[in-house]
Structure 1
Amino acid sequence: MKLLRAETAGFCMGVDLALKKLAALIVPPKGPQRTGQATALLTFGPIIHNPQVLAEYAAKGVGVVNDPADIPAGATVVIRAHGIPEPVRREIASRGARIVDATCPKVKKAQTLISAQATQSKVLLLFGEADHPEVKGLLSYATAGAHVFDSMEELERMDLGEGPTYFLAAQTTQDEMEFMRIRDFLKKRFGPGLTVLSTICNATMNRQQEAMDLAAAVDFMVVVGGRESGNTRRLAQVARTAGTPCVHVETADELSPDMVAGKRIIGLTAGASTPKKIIDSVQQALEAF
């Protein structure tokens, strides 16, 4: 058996930055402590979508809250990498909390671009998962209205009136190929003047392209990452769309020799919130098989 590991597997820039910001708050700074330093360290929602990483930070005393009402006065609250709705941010501030913004810069850029279009009274057409925290945050900036869809089929079923002026954007971890198909469909409907925002991040596109290339060169794919991670699920989807059998696992414990029995070449990739040590352990397990 031969194993091919994707070069892009593992943490993206946004995840790495978010975790570094959180880690810096756990380790006391050198020198005199500042007076009035917050005693509670919380993240608003899971800082990233990886249960193993979250468990590690929980063991270090980092709490997770999902409702501003649960934030004690004086707490330090780290905004998750996916971002949060703007009204929620204001409510957290009103609780007297210290806010540390760990929103991914790519998500922050998408928020800014959407806000700029909304101020022109344009209605957002957003390609994304309605229940995803990033999408909920992006929608809060679409003050003139928005429609969310997660597939071309769902978009085609929507009753979009001709009155509003629309603009198109995507969740930063969406499928680039599908987004271009949606873009072309909407330009035919609303004309070439439709504003299209480039909000899918380069890290996502690079990972998806490498997964596609890898899937074409192997006879089985293993994708590693949290099951709540949208970008990880889409890597598995990309491999399956290419016609390559694929399994999505969170840890090496989920693998078995039967999964790879008879496979000649196995491809290994991982989502943007998967730690290197977990990818390494999966690789070691596969090589042991």
Structure 2
Amino acid sequence: MDVLRAETAGFCMGVDLALRKLDKLLAGNASEAPIYTFGPLIHNPQVLREYAQRGVRLCEDPEVIEPGAVVLIRAHGVPKGVFERLRARGAIIADATCPKVTKAQKLIARQADEGGILLLYGEEAHPEVRGLLSHASHGAIIFDSLAELQGHTLDRADSYFLAAQTTQDEEEFERIRDHLFTTLGRAIPVLHTICDATQKRQAEAIALARSVDFMVVVGGRESGNTRRLAKVAQSQGTPCALVETAAELPLEKMRGLSRIGLTAGASTPKKIIDAVESALRTL
């Protein structure tokens, strides 16, 4: 049996930068000040557990931060008011927001300054989305699919602009754009905020899924980009399993197959991907 591993599987640039920043804070913390991450730094429970064992605390309420504590802003970013609240508490802020998320926030803020309601393709409960919405000064409509958008009534007289969570599906985004042009009878500003690394990973997952008998996607179940990798693989008609570790592999379903594809979300450590690949090769 062949195991075909995606070249892009594992940490993206934004996750790698965030973890490097946290490692640097831990190494240079001579004063032993408390170190917090504001919300889960990334969506991978194994990585978060390792940092918790090294003394890193997790917090989502600025009011419980003690003066002098170090607070690392998660890779997904935070609503813009959080920075002011943390400074008011006397916290030392280290910003690990992914540069692609920061760019999306700035694009939305700039377009919102010109007026218009944000149409945001994303997951409402996701921390990145909450941060993006905080920059939409004239309001927003959020939806996680074309079908959900079609359930909203849009007034042709209103001004709108379109953006997306950075880890969303590019093909679905294009369908949403085309639908809006038809529905509103005009083109509206479209902000291209989906990360190019996300697009590359999804394209590679699709190509792999078309050439194998079974797909395995490795990553945290809370990770939006990991779930979407599984979704685009399944959309090719290929059976797919999303697992967090090698122990979760449905090995019996894969015995006797010729080719298995392997990819992983952007917050999945290489050692976990390697362990899954080793387990698959035992078949």
Q: Mark yes or no: TM-score above 0.5.
A: yes
What CA deviation, in whole Å up to 9, does each residue of 1:109-163 have, x standing for no partner?
Answer: 0000000011112110000000000000000000111000001111001022223
Q: Residue 189 of structure 1: CA displacement?
A: 2.3
Q: Paired residue for 1:213, among 201, 207, 211?
A: 207
Over aligned residues, Cα RMSD in angstroms? 1.1
- Indicate yes or no: 2:99 matched with 1:68: no
Residues 123 and 167 in structure 1, CA contact (< 8 A), matched pair in contact too: yes
Correspondence list, 1:4-23, <5 A? 4-23=4-23
Partner of 1:153: 147
Q: Paired residue for 1:106, among 100, 108, 116?
A: 100
* TM-score, normalising length: structure 1: 0.96
SS in 1 for 2:271: helix
Q: Residue 187 of structure 1: CA displacement?
A: 1.5
Q: Paired residue for 1:270, among 264, 273, 279?
A: 264
Partner of 1:130: 124
Residues 38 and 75 in structure 1, CA contact (< 8 A), matched pair in contact too: no
Mapped to 2, the partners of 1:128 and 1:181 lie a distance apart of 14
- Indicate yes or no: 2:195 matched with 1:163: no
SS in 1 for 2:203: helix
Residues 6 and 205 in structure 2, CA contact (< 8 A), matched pair in contact too: yes
SS in 1 for 2:210: helix
- Indicate yes or no: 2:58 matched with 1:58: no
Partner of 1:252: 246
- Indicate yes or no: 2:240 matched with 1:235: no
SS in 1 for 2:43: coil
Mapped to 1, the partners of 2:273 and 2:35 lie a distance apart of 28
Residues 217 and 226 in structure 2, CA contact (< 8 A), matched pair in contact too: yes
Residues 214 and 267 in structure 1, CA contact (< 8 A), matched pair in contact too: yes
Partner of 2:111: 117
Mapped to 1, the partners of 2:124 and 2:107 lie a distance apart of 19
What CA deviation, in whole Å up to 9, does each residue of 1:75-134 have, x standing for no partner?
Answer: 000000000001122111111101100000000000000000111121100000000000
Mapped to 2, the partners of 1:193 and 1:285 lie a distance apart of 50
Residues 218 and 267 in structure 1, CA contact (< 8 A), matched pair in contact too: yes
Structure 2 residue runs of 5 or longer lacking an equivalent are: none
What CA deviation, in whole Å up to 9, does each residue of 1:9-59 have, x standing for no partner?
Answer: 000000000111111000127xxx5xxx56110000000000000011101
Alignment: residue pair count = 283
Mapped to 1, the partners of 2:32 and 2:206 lie a distance apart of 46
Partner of 2:198: 204
* TM-score, normalising length: structure 2: 0.98
- Indicate yes or no: 2:65 matched with 1:85: no
Mapped to 2, the partners of 1:93 and 1:140 lie a distance apart of 18
Q: Residue 164 of structure 1: CA displacement?
A: 2.1
The one-letter code matched in structure 1 to 2:28 is P
Correspondence list, 1:3-42, <5 A? 3-28=3-28, 37=31, 39-42=33-36
Mapped to 2, the partners of 1:40 and 1:142 lie a distance apart of 33
- Indicate yes or no: 2:218 matched with 1:224: yes
Mapped to 2, the partners of 1:96 and 1:163 lie a distance apart of 46
Q: Residue 191 of structure 1: CA displacement?
A: 4.0
Residues 84 and 137 in structure 1, CA contact (< 8 A), matched pair in contact too: yes
SS in 2 for 1:134: helix
The one-letter code matched in structure 1 to 2:277 is Q
Structure 1 residue runs of 5 or longer lacking an equivalent are: none
Residues 169 and 199 in structure 1, CA contact (< 8 A), matched pair in contact too: yes
Identity of aligned residues (%): 60
SS in 1 for 2:83: helix
The one-letter code matched in structure 2 to 1:76 is V
Mapped to 2, the partners of 1:155 and 1:129 lie a distance apart of 12
